[in-house]
Amino acid sequence: MLGISLWRGLLGLEDTAIEDVVYDAGGTLVVHVRPMSRRRGRCGRCRRRSPGYDVLPRRRRWRTLDQGTAMAYLEADSPRVRCRSHGVVVAHVPWAEHAAGHTHTFDQQVAWLAVKTSKQATTELMRVAWRTVGAIISRVYARAQAQALAVSGRDGLDGLRRIGIDEISYKRNHKYVLVVVDHDTATLVWAAQGRDKATMRSFFDDLGAQRAALISHVSADGADFIAEIVAERAPQAVLCADPFHVVGWANDALSRVRIDAWNQARALARTEPKALAGWARRTQVRPGHDRAKQLKGSRFALWKNPENLSSQQQTKLEWIALSEPELHRAYQLKEALRLIFRLPIEQARPDLEAWISWARRSRIPAFVELQRRIVRHRTRILAAIEHGMSNGLVESVNTKIRLLTRTAFGFHNANAMIAIAMLSLGHHKPALPGRK
Ligand SMILES: [Zn+2]
């Protein structure tokens, strides 16, 4: 066997004595360990030195990083202590979080992989279930937060000036997480489950009155509860519309027009004869079927920014311009609204007015309705443009959070989804074990 100190280095252990290293019958590496004396006899929850209580009869095991191709575990006695605050508790160990079944090094590597690679890469490489990954990243995030607070007294909410508040739905749209983004650094700074006044207040409770007074701008999606609590806790802040959401409303209106056109085409197609067999099909005239087929593949051509269209999507758009005048007008309305956010305020102001009257006269119900909503939010939309809240960095944070909700889908609870979002887009980017 290798020297003990070499094993300690390989396993990334601190404050830990290695007693023995063995291979068990199944080819698993088992490292017998104990905490060094200064880490012994402490409460597993608060780490306060506490009198011993007893030793549980079974030794405990913690999964740690594979050594070469072998799965590896640490194994140790499980003494209990009697803590003044927490009663009888399993004693603290330096290599793992309290009540965890994996070591710190294992946790760190899982968190790094979950943030940097795919679900499949993480679970296959580490040989754990995705749910376990959820539990691991929750505790990695909690630990990173606690350490930052202990070391520098920072909770990640210092220096906020311009923030974005957003509701993210996950788990088939039934549950929500409220997130707060720092517009100046494009960082996710706060997240909690819920979308109501109480959740919104808990952010301002964490922030405290002093720091809340420094907030100059808040962008949000137009939800009343956000506006109400911002007015209550940070009345000096200018409330802005979030361009990401306004463009989202326009995309929704456009989808409704497209679906209406498709339904009309389908209705016509149902009155048409069945397709002929073989070469005869080529000369058969079935306008309803043809229209439905063309419209079916048009979603992305209508959605994407025109500068990013493939040549096939470009052709699709040209077909829409020729054959679907109403849908094409709806598309132009959506694009025009999107581009207003890129304009300087002097130009955006008259352009928004022109857009509103264009939409009002469009005779497209979805856009007449959208126009009413835009009028209601006009002041906030112009404030967003005037104060430069329409920047692409924040939009990309918004998009990334939404992608993460898909990754987080198999997780057990909201905490894991919040943890992966904060680790990916917040202040605590995970590091690989053994590297600084
Ligand atoms: Zn304790």
CA angle 221, 222, 224 (to 5 degrees): 130
Nearest Cα to 390, choosing from 325, 335, 338, 429?
A: 338
**Do residues 221 and 290 share a domain?**
no
204 within a domain of the structure (yes/no):
yes
Same domain flag for 230 and 365: no
State how far the Cα of 91 lies from the Cα of 40, in Å rounded to an integer.
Answer: 7
CA–centroid distance, 426 to ligand 1, in Å, is: 30
Percent of the chain with pLDDT over 90: 59
Assess whether pLDDT exceeds 90 at residue 86. yes
| CA–CA separation, 246 and 355 (whole Å) | 14
The type of residue at 237 is A
Asked whether residue 431 is assigned to any structural domain, the reply reads no
Confidence class for position 2, pLDDT limits 50, 70, 90: low
pLDDT band at 347 (very low <50, low <70, confident <90, very high): very high
For residue 275, report the distance from its CA to the centre of ligand 1, in Å.
76
Residue 67: how many CB atoms within 10 A of its CB?
15
Dihedral angle over CA of 385, 211, 137, 125, nearest 10: 50
Instruction: Give the Å distance between the CA of 131 and the centre of ligand 1.
Output: 28
pLDDT above 80 for 393 = no
Left (φ > 0), alpha (ψ -120 to 50) or beta: where does 15 sit?
A: left
Structural domain for 169, as ranges: 162-242+390-409
Which residues neighbour 69 within 8 Å (Cβ) at sequence distance 6 or greater? none
Q: Dump pLDDT digits (tens) for 98-137.
A: 999 999 999 999 999 999 999 999 999 999 999 999 999 9
Any bridge partners for residue 34, and if so which?
17
Residue 433 counted as domain residue: no
Contact 284, 321 (CB under 8 A): no
Q: Given pLDDT bands bounded at 50, 70 and 90, which one contains residue 311?
A: confident
Residue 288 lies in a domain: yes
353/349 Cα distance (integer angstroms): 7
Distance 79 CA to ligand 1 centre (A): 14
Q: Would the pTM of this model clear 0.75, i.e. be above it?
A: yes
Residue 316 falls within a domain, yes or no?
Answer: yes
CA of residue 403 to ligand 1 center, whole Å = 39
CA of 92 to the centre of ligand 1 (A): 10
Distance 87 CA to ligand 1 centre (A): 7
CA of 146 relative to ligand 1 center, distance in Å: 16
CB 134 within 8 A of CB 119: no
Structural domain includes residue 1: yes
Whether residue 374 is found in the same domain as residue 250: yes
Percent of the chain whose predicted confidence (pLDDT) is above 70: 97
Distance from Cα 40 to the centre of ligand 1, integer Å? 13
Number of domains in the chain: 3
Question: In which residue are the tokens 């927490």 written?
Answer: 86
Instruction: Among 9-18, 69-78, 291-300, 345-354, name the one with the lowest average pLDDT.
Output: 291-300
Q: What distance in angstroms lies between residue 44's CA and the mean position of ligand 1's atoms?
A: 7
pLDDT in tens, 201-217: 999 999 999 999 999 99
Q: Kindly give the distance from the C-alpha atom of residue 52 to the centroid of ligand 1, in angstroms, as a whole number.
A: 13
Ligand 1: centre distance to CA 42 (Å): 8
Q: Taking each helix axis from N to C terminus, what angle separates 104-116 and 414-425, rounded to the nearest 10 degrees?
A: 70
The alpha carbon of 16 and the centre of ligand 1 are apart by a number of angstroms equal to 21
Whether 263 and 375 map to the same domain: the answer is yes
Q: Is residue 217 part of a domain?
A: yes
Cα 207 to averaged position of ligand 1 atoms, centre (Å): 28
Residues 171-194 have pLDDT tens digits of 666 788 899 999 888 899 999 999
* 70-83/87-90 β-pairing: antiparallel
49 CA distance to ligand 1 middle (Å):
8
Q: How far is the CA of 103 from the centre of ligand 1 (A)?
A: 20
394 and 318 assigned to the same domain: no
Distance CA 97, CA 428 (A): 18
Strands 238-241 vs 217-220: parallel, antiparallel or unpaired: parallel
pLDDT category at 276 given cuts 50, 70, 90 is confident
Residue whose entry in the numeric block shows the structure tokens 């399993």 = 90
Cα–Cα dist 376/207, whole Å = 30
**Domain shared by 357 and 371, yes or no:** yes
| Structural domain contains residue 414 | no
Please compute Rg for the chain using Cα positions.
29
Q: Contact at 8 Å (CB) between 46 and 53?
A: no
Do 221 and 251 lie in a common domain?
A: no
Measured CA to CA, the distance from residue 372 to residue 46 in angstroms comes to: 56
Contact yes or no for 421/404 (Cβ under 8 A): yes
State mean pLDDT over 248-271: 91
For ligand 1, the distance from its centroid to the CA atom of residue 48, given in whole angstroms, is: 6
296 and 332 co-located in one domain = yes
> Are 107 and 139 a contacting pair, CB within 8 Å?
yes
Q: For residue 9, what pLDDT is reported?
A: 85
Segment of 24-28, 290-294, 369-373 carrying the highest mean pLDDT = 369-373
pLDDT greater than 90 at residue 28: yes
Considering the domain architecture, whether residues 79 and 180 belong to the same structural domain is answered as no
Q: Could you tell me the distance, in angstroms and rounded to a whole number, from the CA of residue 284 to the centre of ligand 1?
A: 81
**Inter-residue contact 78 to 56 (CB < 8 Å):** yes
Q: Are residues 398 and 374 in the same domain?
A: no
Query: How far does the centroid of ligand 1 lie from the alpha carbon of residue 85, in Å?
Result: 5
Confidence band for 89, pLDDT divided at 50, 70 and 90: very high
As given in the structure block, the two tokens for residue 140 are: 């990695």
Q: Ligand 1 centroid vs 232 CA: distance in angstroms?
A: 38
Q: What are the structure tokens assigned to 210, written together?
A: 């002093």
Q: Are residues 251 and 359 in the same domain?
A: yes
What spacing in Å lies between the alpha carbon of 149 and ligand 1's midpoint?
A: 19
Instruction: Please name the residue that has the structure tokens 């959506």.
Output: 334
Cα-to-centroid distance, 88 and ligand 1 (Å): 9
When comparing pLDDT for 143 and 395, which is higher? 143
Same domain, 186 and 267: no
Task: Find the 382 Cα to ligand 1 centroid distance in Å.
Answer: 53
- Residue 53 alpha carbon to ligand 1 centre in Å: 13
Question: For position 191, which CATH number holds?
Answer: 3.30.420.10
97 CA distance to ligand 1 middle (Å): 14
Residue 262 near residue 295 (C-beta atoms within 8 A) = yes
Spatial separation of the C-alpha atoms in residues 120 and 67, rounded to whole Å:
21
What is the pLDDT at residue 425?
A: 92
CA of 91 to the centre of ligand 1 (A): 9
Gap from CA of 12 to ligand 1 centroid (Å): 26
